[in-house]
Amino acid sequence: MRMSALSATAALVLATLAGGVAPAAADSPAGPVLRVDLEAGKGLHHNVGTVLYERVDGEVNAVRILSVYITGGERDCAWVSWNNPWDGGVWSNLTSEPSCNGTGLEEHPGQIIKAPAGHPLKVRLAGDHLGEVVHKDIQKL
């Protein structure tokens, strides 16, 4: 009698654990979330940014941009861009607008960026004064 009660309790605990683990595994991302911190300029021209991303399974050189956080300097506007090989090698923006004059910006684009094998994917935080880029930080993804 005591064994059957213990077995029933163990079965109930295992069923509860199994029920709790399955949904969490289904909701988890394909890979680890990676982070790149960016910083450019000093004093009133200090710009900071963070990009959270994950590698895309089955792709050689592709990442999904999960979040972009930017705070522009007191006298700057700041953008976070990536080195897009499909657009003539120019820097393509990851956010819809800049962060200007000390304000913060947070966007969650969910955008997949990719490049041919051998092209290093990079992000850049650029701080500008009236359209002229004067501060920048570039990091490899």
Residues 65 and 108 in one domain: yes
pLDDT by residue (tens digit) across 50-80?
A: 999 999 988 889 999 999 999 999 999 999 9
Residues 121 and 89 in one domain: yes
What is the structure's pLDDT at 67? 98
Find where tokens 């897009």 sit. Answer: 84
Residue 111 clears pLDDT 80, i.e. is over it: yes
What is the structure's pLDDT at 65? 97
Distance CA 73, CA 86 (A): 30
Are the beta carbons of 107 and 99 closer than 8 angstroms?
no
**Confidence at 16, pLDDT banded by 50, 70, 90:** very low
Distance CA 89, CA 75 (A): 28
Residues 23 and 40 in one domain: no
Query: Rounded mean pLDDT of the chain?
Result: 82
What is the structure's pLDDT at 3? 43
The candidate with the shortest Cα–Cα distance to 103, out of 36, 49, 43, 40, is 49
Residues 65 and 78 in one domain: yes
Could you tell me the residue range of the domain that residue 58 belongs to?
34-140
Domain with residue 44: its CATH number is 2.60.40
